[in-house]
Amino acid sequence: MAFTAKDVQELRARTGAGMMDCKKALEASDGNPEKAAEWLREKGIATAAKKAGRIASQGVVDSYIHMGGKVGVLLEVNCETDFVAKGEGFLAFVHDVALQIAAVKPLYVSREEVPADVINHERSIASAQIENDPKMASKPEMVKNKIIDGKIETYYKENCLLDQAFVKDPSKTINQLVIEATAKCGEKVTIRRFVRYEMGEGLAKKVDNFAEEINAAVASMKK
């Protein structure tokens, strides 16, 4: 697969590696950017990967209010220094992540945070769906297991922030944005935690029964 100068530049922004290293990575990976990023990591070239073991104890807590006060987000994102935490690029990244949380409603930061019982429950549901589908009756167990694994992967992509597609650019995941932010800032960047509030969430809502209202109105007219 061929690649362009733009592909090289995007890989550089994502990984922090040099232009020539990015070009070599794309050549070695047949132009595939995902494989190229992995190639750089394996060679120890990607600067974002090199920073993964560092301690990020600085950062900001950002707030975001959406839909005229209907949805609110509190988000903590960490970096290594207060200098970077005050930078426009870092703050813009944090704000984008807060927007993502408000819009897409993730339940967890990463798939590692998902409790085992939740995944087991999702697997049991997927298994039941397969067993209740007549078209799946003759399928080998290996095929059924792959389908279940696929459904679990979908669950991660829908509910884990780092696995979600970025609302402003669905070609990227939030994890890729973190890698790019790490490369641009020159420091380790991590999303630590968030809370999302939606007005009225969890409260019992009044359900209008129009049939009962009409019957009551008719009855009162007869009196």
Residues 135, 36 within the same domain: no
- Domains contained in the chain, number: 3
Q: CATH number of the domain that 29 lies in?
A: 1.10.8.10
CB contact at 8 A, 175 and 14: no
Residues 120, 185 within the same domain: no
Residues 169, 208 within the same domain: yes
The 10s digit of each residue's pLDDT in 130-170 is 888 888 878 888 888 899 999 999 999 999 999 999 999 99
Q: Which amino acid is at 62?
A: D
Residues 69, 178 within the same domain: yes
Residues 177, 101 within the same domain: yes
Residues 170, 103 within the same domain: yes
Residues 44, 89 within the same domain: no
Distance between CA atoms of 107 and 122, rounded to whole angstroms? 14
State percent of the chain over pLDDT 90: 50
Which residues, in sequence order, are bridge partners of residue 64?
Answer: 73
Domain ends where: 159, 178, 195?
Answer: 159
Q: Which of 194, 173, 183, 165 is nearest to 79 (CA)?
A: 183
Determine if the pTM surpasses 0.85. Answer: no
The total of other beta-carbon atoms located within 10 Å of residue 11's CB is 25
Q: What range defines the domain where residue 10 resides? A: 5-51
The 10s digit of each residue's pLDDT in 20-60 is 888 999 999 999 988 888 888 777 666 666 666 677 779 99
Residues 82, 180 within the same domain: yes
Q: How confident is the model at residue 86 (pLDDT cuts 50, 70, 90)?
A: very high
Residues 99, 171 within the same domain: yes
Q: Which of 206, 180, 195, 12 is nearest to 93 (CA)?
A: 180
Containing 126, the helix (H) or strand (E) segment is helix 116-131
Residue 219, token pair as written in the block: 């009855």
Distance between CA atoms of 40 and 43, rounded to whole angstroms? 5
